């Protein structure tokens, strides 16, 4: 059981996955609460062309993902304002276009070997920069979510009541999406374009089946994310499967295991935000 812990590459992978799990579990609760899981998936897929261009240019993926996610967000906002186009349709069009562009770039002659790691990640080989970025993300999200806790809670509990308190639901929505974008840009380097959304949705969805209070939900989601990350890495080490895919599989299993408890929980489907509201 302790053999993987003696391998330097596994030590780094566990450190990277633990940091991403903490960030994904905490932020994911708000993603699930605000019902923006589709937005998380859309933003993740939309940065694929930026990742490919960064790989072709030989620059850090972070430098390619950041402008790509900004461009995708602006395109989604613009598409949603077109007459006769719903927000979901606008998102679908932008995501399909951006991801398709990324695939075309990935198939070009200039594409470097191993481009598939952009899709499935390389959690087993994090660089020093990846570890620093993940640690910075945890600090950023910790500070931001602490400062925004009251606003997010009030808006999630009652959007109309939040306005009466002088709070802007639009500000809460925008802040959450900005944090989500930052989380995806950092986590995609380890978990890949196709799998990164798992850590921002799966643990939180499982935690919601187990508790109806936001505080315990965040704690449970982080615990599930960390344990699933460790389980996935151990599976990858002993079975020889891809690291990112193994982690995503472990998260799915954790969610499936939470379903029976969710079905028998008295307040299933309702999140008691008022229990944590003290502003």
The pLDDT value recorded for residue 80 is 62
Q: How far apart are CA 48 and CA 57, in angstroms?
A: 14
- What is the token pair recorded at 172? 């809460």
What sign results for the dihedral spanned by CA atoms 8, 134, 119, 116? negative
pLDDT in tens, the chain (279 residues): 788 888 898 999 999 999 999 999 999 999 998 888 887 888 888 888 999 998 898 888 888 888 888 888 777 767 766 777 676 777 788 888 888 898 898 888 888 877 777 888 888 888 888 899 999 999 999 999 999 998 888 887 777 777 777 778 878 888 888 899 889 989 888 888 878 889 999 999 999 999 888 889 999 999 999 999 999 999 999 998 888 889 999 999 999 999 887 666 655 555 555 444 444
Q: What residues make up the domain containing 96?
A: 4-276
Q: How many domains are there within the chain?
A: 1
| Burial label, 147 (beta-carbon count in 10 A; 0-12, 13-18, 19+) | exposed
**Which CATH number is 145's domain given?**
1.10.3470.10
- DSSP code of residue 112: P
The pLDDT value recorded for residue 272 is 55
The pLDDT value recorded for residue 4 is 81
213 backbone dihedrals φ, ψ, rounded to 5°? -125, 140
pTM of the model: 0.84
- Give me the long-range contacts of 7-10 (CB less than 8 A, separation at least 24): 7/237, 9/124, 9/125, 10/124, 10/233, 10/237
The pLDDT value recorded for residue 76 is 72
């Amino acid at each position: 059981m302790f053999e993987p812990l003696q391998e330097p590459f596994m030590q780094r992978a566990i450190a990277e996955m633990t940091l991403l799990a903490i960030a994904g579990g905490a932020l994911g609760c708000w993603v699930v609460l605000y019902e923006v899981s589709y937005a998380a998936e859309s933003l993740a897929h939309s940065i694929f062309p930026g990742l490919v261009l960064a790989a072709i240019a030989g620059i850090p993926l972070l430098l390619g993902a950041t402008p790509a996610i900004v461009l995708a967000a602006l395109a989604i906002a613009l598409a949603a304002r077109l007459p006769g186009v719903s927000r979901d349709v606008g998102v679908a069009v932008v995501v399909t276009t951006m991801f398709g562009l990324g695939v075309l770039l990935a198939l070009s002659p200039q594409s470097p070997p191993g481009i598939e790691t952009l899709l499935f990640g390389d959690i087993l080989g994090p660089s020093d920069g990846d570890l620093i970025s993940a640690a910075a993300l945890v600090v950023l999200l910790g500070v931001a979510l602490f400062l925004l806790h009251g606003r997010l809670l009030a808006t999630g509990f009652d959007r109309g009541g939040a306005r009466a308190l002088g709070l802007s639901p639009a500000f809460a929505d925008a802040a959450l999406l900005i944090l989500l974008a930052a989380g995806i840009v950092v986590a995609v380097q380890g978990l890949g374009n196709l799998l990164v959304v798992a850590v921002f949705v799966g643990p939180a969805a499982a935690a919601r089946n187990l508790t109806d209070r936001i505080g315990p939900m965040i704690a449970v989601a982080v615990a599930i994310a960390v344990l699933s990350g460790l389980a996935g890495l151990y599976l990858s080490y002993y079975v020889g499967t891809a690291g990112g895919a193994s982690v995503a599989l472990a998260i799915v299993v954790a969610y499936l295991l939470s379903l029976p408890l969710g079905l028998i929980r008295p307040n299933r489907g309702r999140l008691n935000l008022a229990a944590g509201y003290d502003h």
